[in-house]
Structure 1
Amino acid sequence: MSNENNDQARTSIEEAKAYVIDSIAETMDLYGVTRSAGNLYGTMYFEEDMTLDEMREKLGMSKPSMSTGVKKLQDYNIVKQTFRKGTRRQTFVAEKDFFQFFTNFFTKKWVREAKVNLDAIKQAQQDLDNLLKDKELEEDIRQEAEQTYIKLEASKPYYHWLQKLVASIESGELFEMIPIDESDE
């Protein structure tokens, strides 16, 4: 292959990577991770490991933005700190297994969703209980408080189901019920 063909081939590879990096960034943005952190993860996905300087150079981001993005991705356990032999600089590696990514990323979000909402429901229901103990409460206000309490109670099964979903993912049970298809279809 000539140098010109090699250059075109390398350009094609970089364009193919760019499509995937952009789609990863867009997808992560849908789930509340900044697009820049999504670009960072997507870029790291195609690398063995990277230092903050290498990330900054590749993405053109400031070092503080890079550190913030890496920290956020570490919080989701989809980027891990590693050590490269022969250097004292910190290096980082992205989770390459999308099933593990799914497990780490979504379960963390769903656990938080269930906890935040169940805590809010518990507090709201306690407040409504206290309100309903008031013997002098007007009937229309009492009915509204009771209806609100019932609506809150009706939402609890979803959050308990979400907790079960997380447990089934973390235990691997979900992947037994819905096996991972190894084909590329």
Structure 2
Amino acid sequence: MGLYHLNEERQAAVDKIRKRVIENIGRNMDLYGIPVSTGHLYGLLFFADKPMNLDEMGQEMKMSKTSMSTGVRTLLDYKMVNKVWEKGSRKDLYEVEYDWYQTFFDFFDVKWRKSVESNILILKKAIEEWSRLRKEHGDDEYLIAVMDQDLSKMKEAVAYYQWLDRLIDTFVNGDIFKLVPKEPPEQ
């Protein structure tokens, strides 16, 4: 898997370090709802010195082509890997997206935007239903008191989700870097 040819002892040392990093990436991906094995696949591609096809990935990870395909599809959906073209190759090749900032932003946008939109829609429908119910049962003071509490909570939730939507926008348009600048890697 390396561009350089190391002796067996040095290759074992490199592989040990890579394995530790790959295992940690898998655990971290699990936090985002991505299977550990898909996180391991991402780690494999992260350390690859060239784009890999499903057969190569399967050999390295000792997994079936079907499992590799499912994992790659997940990573493609979250824009964590890219399909690349290579002259002379008839198989699909994949490489990791090395811009971790953009990967996080894309993942955050895909995962959270859908949730935010769904929650705002449900809450606004509930607020509309609340208004209709209040008109129908405006003489029931207890019901109105309960509903007013609920309405206040729902309006707070809508405000939160609208804020979260704006936060997602700062990631997508890059404005987040005005607030939290990137730092260069340590040398």
Shorter-chain TM-score above 0.5: yes
Q: Return the offset for 1:76.
A: 0.8
Aligned with 1:157 (options 156, 159, 176): 159
- Corresponding residue number in structure 1 for 2:68: 66
- Corresponding residue number in structure 2 for 1:20: 21
Q: Return the offset for 1:29.
A: 0.6
Please, what is the CA RMSD of the aligned residues? 1.8
Tell whether the 8 Å contact from 2:105 to 2:171 is kept in structure 1 after alignment.
Answer: yes
Which secondary structure state, in structure 1, belongs to the residue aligned with residue 82 of structure 2? strand
Partners of 1:166 and 1:152 lie apart in 2 by 21
- Corresponding residue number in structure 1 for 2:31: 30
- Corresponding residue number in structure 2 for 1:179: 181
Which secondary structure state, in structure 2, belongs to the residue aligned with residue 49 of structure 1? coil
Deviations 1:95-149 (A, max 9, x none): 1121121121122222122112111111222222222121366432332222111
Which blocks of at least 5 consecutive residues in structure 2 are unaligned? 1-5
Q: Return the offset for 1:184.
A: 2.1
Tell whether the 8 Å contact from 2:138 to 2:144 is kept in structure 1 after alignment.
Answer: no
- Corresponding residue number in structure 2 for 1:110: 112
The range that moved more, 92-101 or 132-141, is 132-141
- Corresponding residue number in structure 2 for 1:141: 143
Tell whether the 8 Å contact from 2:53 to 2:91 is kept in structure 1 after alignment.
Answer: yes
How many residue pairs are counted as aligned between the two chains? 181
Distance 1:137 1:74, change over 3 A: farther
1:39 aligns with 2:13: no
Deviations 1:25-83 (A, max 9, x none): 11111011111111111111111211011111111222222111111111111111112
Deviation >6 Å, runs of 4+: none
- Aligned-pair identity (%): 33
Distance 1:183 1:93, change over 3 A: closer
TM-score of the superposition, structure 2-length normalised? 0.89
TM-score of the superposition, structure 1-length normalised? 0.90
Which blocks of at least 5 consecutive residues in structure 1 are unaligned? none
- Corresponding residue number in structure 2 for 1:75: 77
Q: Return the offset for 1:88.
A: 0.4
